[in-house]
């Protein structure tokens, strides 16, 4: 490992358990707190008539100091003998969970802080659960404020056991559980003489044992196209290698379109003949063939591209003020692609603090809840499961253009890459002819699928007919199924390689009087 690699650590836990104080103390005890900052805090505290408050280093906003809370996540920097650190403070109030997630999603490792007097609380558990959903496996627990319980070993043991049990239930094995007092500086940078019964590492050496999140160089190649620049006669596909390595000459393919080619060059500014690009590198790629790819396509090795998902099941956390609702449309953003989706099932709605299942087969997910859900994608998207590849297996859900939730992909249902059907929404706008209803699909060469709008069905209900022109005979089957599914009749006439289909509502068949009344309920 490169000793110069920065480690990003987020500090999470229930409100008032001492997260901001711990950070101030870490700075102070490692000699990283600039004297002027110290004096500025000292002065503010004196003006407010209170003891020196280490938390003020991070809680810089006036509102935060006034109310003694952390509102938004902040990042700060310090250095030990071993390496540089980025410390990310996260607010502990549940209203600010979105800010906690913003902070935690940027970290390599976490310190979960628990107040030794108060013990495990609502946000302790919620934050731990969120860490597991964000895929943060490196966690150290810090049991704080032991000065308030006389540095008693028994109290520490109780909390240790409780937290270990809970973390186990969300799949986290803590690296260490360190007893400390942030205010007094026990076991932060130096071993405390007040807890001779503890023989583990100080918090600082526990941190030094973590490793930065590896770049996913060992995984298969994933290169999502971020943008396309046509400059200087070249078509450059700009993007970041999310995993694996790409070299000129590689045989590559793209998902979801299934297009393929050979890599011609890897482009970097002022680096002619760049031999390769690996995970984490932002580069440009040129191809041997003119493919006209768009943002969102993901390049992989020819025999290993991500699935072209039509449906994904996922575990999500919801931060929106309005509930996430079944059968509603949202936008799912994953790597550089995005698709409209319909939330098609909510098998489980979960309390993100107690982990209890609130409801099965639910119709909504409320703010701060976690859920297992299924999304149906309106157009195919390149997706891996989170287990296969974190970078291509995590996404955010946007509502009204704002990120309102996020999640990780558990399972993917896909088309064969390159053979996705185009979904054609049959709505009244498609009916173009003034003297009749005519939908021209003669330019759709591939497989098609239909998505019917209520307005469209209403027209048919009213006795109108719709003519649809198809390009190929293969597309007939889909249309026949559609007619079958909606009890419609249809007539077909061949036109060249394709044909014209007329859809209409079947007249209801007159049934014998006895059956017409229907079954008695």
Partner 1 sequence: MDHLDALENQSIYIFREAFRKFKDLAMLWSIGKDSTTLLWLARKAFFGRVPFPLVHIDTNFKHPRMIAYRDRMAREWGVDLIVGRNEEALCAGMEPAKGRFQCCNALKTQGLQQILEKHGFKGVFLGIRRDEEGSRAKERVFSPRDKNFEWKYKDQPPELWDQFNTSFGPETHVRIHPLLSWTELDVWEYIRREQVPVCDLYFARDGKRYRSLGCVPCNSPIESKAGSIAEIVEELKVTKTPERAGRAQDHEAAYMMQKLRSLGYM
Ligand X SMILES: Nc1nc2c(ncn2[C@@H]2O[C@H](COP(=O)(O)OP(=O)(O)O)[C@@H](O)[C@H]2O)c(=O)[nH]1
Q: Which residues bind ligand X (CB under 6 A)?
A: 15-21, 55, 68, 70, 92, 144-145, 147-148, 181-183
Q: Can you spell out the DSSP letters for 173-218?
A: --SEEEE-BTTTTBTSSS--TT-TT--S--HHHHHHT--PPPP-TT
- Whole-number Å distance between alpha carbons of 296 and 304: 17
Tell me the per-residue interface mask from 3 to 22 with partner 1, x by CB under 8 A, - otherwise: -xxx----------------
Q: Which of partner 1, Mg ion, ligand X, none does residue 182 bind (CB under 5 to 8 Å by kind)?
A: ligand X
> Residue 160's beta-bridge partner residues?
none
Chosen from ligand X, partner 1, Mg ion, none, partner binding at 268 (C-beta under 5 to 8 Å by type): partner 1
Interface with partner 1 (CB under 8 A), residue from 131, 203, 236, 293: 236
Candidate segments 66-74, 143-151, 186-194, 454-462, binder of partner 1 by CB under 8 A:
66-74
Rounded least distance, CB 60 to partner 1, Å: 2
* Using rule CB under 8 A, residue 274 touches partner 1: no
Strands 138-144 and 109-115: parallel
Taking CB under 5 A as the binding criterion, the range among 43-51, 67-75, 301-309, 399-407 that sits at the site for Mg ion is 67-75
The entry of Mg ion, ligand X, partner 1, none near residue 2 (CB within 5 to 8 angstroms by kind) is: partner 1
3-state secondary structure of 95: helix
Instruction: Give the one entry of partner 1, Mg ion, ligand X, none that residue 18 binds, where binding means its C-beta sits below a cut-off of 5 to 8 angstroms depending on kind.
Output: ligand X
Q: At closest approach, how far in Å is the CB of 405 from ligand X?
A: 25
Q: Tell me which residues in 380-399 interact with partner 1 (CB under 8 A).
A: 394-396
Nearest to 123 by CA among 86, 162, 94, 145: 94
Kindly state whether residue 75 participates in binding partner 1, applying the rule CB under 8 A: yes
Q: Of 198 and 318, which CB lies nearer to ligand X in the complex structure?
A: 198
Q: What is the DSSP string of 76-112?
A: EEEE-SS-EEEEEE---SGGGHHHHHHHHTT-SEEEE
Segment lying near Mg ion (by CB under 5 A), choices 62-70, 192-200, 206-214, 319-327: 62-70
Instruction: Give the interface segment with partner 1, choosing from 10-18, 222-230, 306-314, 363-371 (CB under 8 A).
Output: 222-230
Give the C-alpha separation, 347 to 367, whole Å: 17
Q: Of 436, 468, 463, whose CA–CA distance to 452 is shortest?
A: 468
**Residue 186 makes contact with partner 1 by CB under 8 A:** no
Task: Decide if 354 contacts 125 (C-beta within 8 A).
Answer: yes
Least CB distance from residue 74 to partner 1, whole Å? 4
**Which SS3 state, helix, strand or coil, does residue 291 take?**
coil
Q: Residues 311 to 370: which contact partner 1 by CB under 8 A?
A: 319, 333
Q: Using CB under 8 A, count the residues that bind partner 1.
A: 57
Task: List the one residue out of 428, 396, 389 whose CA is nearest residue 412.
Answer: 389
| Residue from 229, 191, 185 nearest 27 by CA | 185
- Coil, helix or strand at residue 22: helix
Cis peptide before 256 (omega within 30 of 0): yes
Strands 488-495 and 498-505, how do they pair? antiparallel
Kindly tell me which residue out of 30, 45, 68, 71 binds partner 1, with binding defined by CB under 8 A: 71
- Indicate the residue whose CB is closest to ligand X: 18
Cα 86 to chain centroid, rounded: 22
Q: Which does 147 bind (CB under 5 to 8 A by kind): Mg ion, ligand X, partner 1, none?
A: ligand X
- Output 4 or 193, the one with its CB closest to partner 1: 4
Phi, psi of 500 (to 5 degrees): -120, 135
Strand spans (E) along 432-487:
437-440, 448-452, 466-470
- Window contacting partner 1 (CB under 8 A); options: 102-110, 300-308, 428-436, 439-447: 102-110
How many whole angstroms separate alpha carbon 150 and alpha carbon 141? 19
Question: Minimal distance in Å, beta carbon 88 to ligand X?
Answer: 12
Strand 84-89 relative to strand 7-13, pairing: parallel
Q: Where are the beta strands (DSSP E) in 302-369?
A: 307-318, 324-325, 329-334, 337-350, 357-360, 364-365
* Whole-angstrom distance, CA of residue 34 vs CA of residue 46: 18
**Contacting Mg ion within 8-37 (CB under 5 A):** 19-20
- Nearest approach in angstroms of CB 36 to partner 1 is 5
Nearer to partner 1, 56 or 198 (CB): 56
**Identified binder of partner 1 from the candidate list 101, 203, 299, 383, rule CB under 8 A:** 101
Q: Work out how close the CB of 282 gets to partner 1 at its nearest, in angstroms, rounded to a whole number.
A: 4
105 binds partner 1 (CB under 8 A): yes
């Amino acid at each position: 490992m490169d000793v110069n690699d920065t480690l990003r650590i987020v500090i999470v836990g229930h409100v008032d358990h001492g997260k901001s104080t711990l950070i101030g103390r870490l700075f102070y005890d490692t000699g990283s707190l600039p004297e002027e900052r110290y004096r500025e805090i000292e002065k503010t505290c004196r003006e407010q008539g209170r003891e020196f408050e280490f938390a003020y280093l991070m809680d810089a906003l006036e509102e935060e100091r006034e109310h003694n809370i952390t509102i938004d996540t902040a990042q700060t920097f310090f250095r030990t003998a071993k390496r540089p650190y980025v410390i990310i403070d996260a607010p502990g109030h549940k209203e600010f969970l979105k800010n906690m997630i913003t902070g935690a999603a940027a970290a390599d490792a976490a310190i979960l802080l628990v107040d030794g007097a108060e013990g495990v609380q609502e946000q302790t558990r919620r934050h731990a659960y969120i860490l597991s959903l964000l895929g943060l496996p490196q966690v150290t627990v810090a049991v704080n404020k032991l000065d308030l319980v006389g540095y008693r070993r028994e109290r520490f043991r109780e909390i240790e056991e409780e937290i270990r049990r809970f973390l186990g239930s969300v799949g986290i094995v803590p690296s260490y559980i360190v007893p400390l007092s942030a205010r007094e500086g026990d076991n932060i940078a130096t071993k405390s003489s007040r807890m001779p019964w503890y023989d583990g590492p100080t918090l600082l050496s526990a941190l030094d044992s973590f490793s930065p999140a590896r770049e996913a160089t060992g995984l298969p190649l994933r290169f999502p196209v971020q943008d396309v620049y046509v400059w200087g006669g070249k078509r450059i596909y700009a993007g970041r290698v999310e995993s694996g390595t790409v070299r000129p000459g590689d045989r590559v393919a793209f998902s979801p379109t299934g297009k393929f080619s050979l890599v011609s060059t890897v482009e970097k500014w002022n680096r002619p003949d760049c031999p390769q690009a690996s995970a984490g590198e932002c580069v440009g790629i040129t191809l041997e063939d003119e493919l006209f790819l768009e943002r969102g396509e993901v390049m992989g090795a020819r025999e290993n591209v991500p699935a072209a998902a039509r449906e994904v099941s996922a575990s999500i956390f919801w931060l929106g003020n309005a509930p996430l609702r079944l059968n509603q449309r949202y936008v799912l953003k994953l790597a550089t692609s995005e698709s409209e989706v319909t939330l098609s099932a909510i098998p489980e709605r979960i309390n993100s603090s107690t982990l209890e299942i609130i409801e099965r087969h639910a119709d909504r997910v409320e703010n701060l809840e976690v859920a297992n859900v299924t999304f149906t994608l309106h157009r195919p998207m390149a997706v891996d499961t989170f287990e296969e590849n974190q970078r291509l297996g995590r996404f955010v859900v946007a509502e009204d253009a704002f990120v309102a939730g996020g999640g990780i992909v558990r399972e993917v249902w896909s088309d064969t890459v390159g053979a996705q059907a185009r979904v054609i929404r049959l709505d009244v706008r498609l009916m173009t002819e003034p003297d009749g209803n005519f939908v021209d699909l003669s330019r759709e060469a591939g497989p098609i699928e239909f998505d019917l709008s209520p307005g469209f069905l209403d027209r048919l209900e009213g006795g109108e007919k719709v003519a649809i022109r198809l390009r190929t005979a293969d597309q007939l089957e889909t249309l026949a199924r559609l007619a079958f599914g909606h009890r419609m009749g249809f007539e077909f006439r061949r036109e060249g390689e394709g044909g014209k289909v007329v859809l209409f509502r079947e007249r209801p068949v007159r049934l014998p009087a006895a059956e017409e009344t229907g079954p008695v309920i």
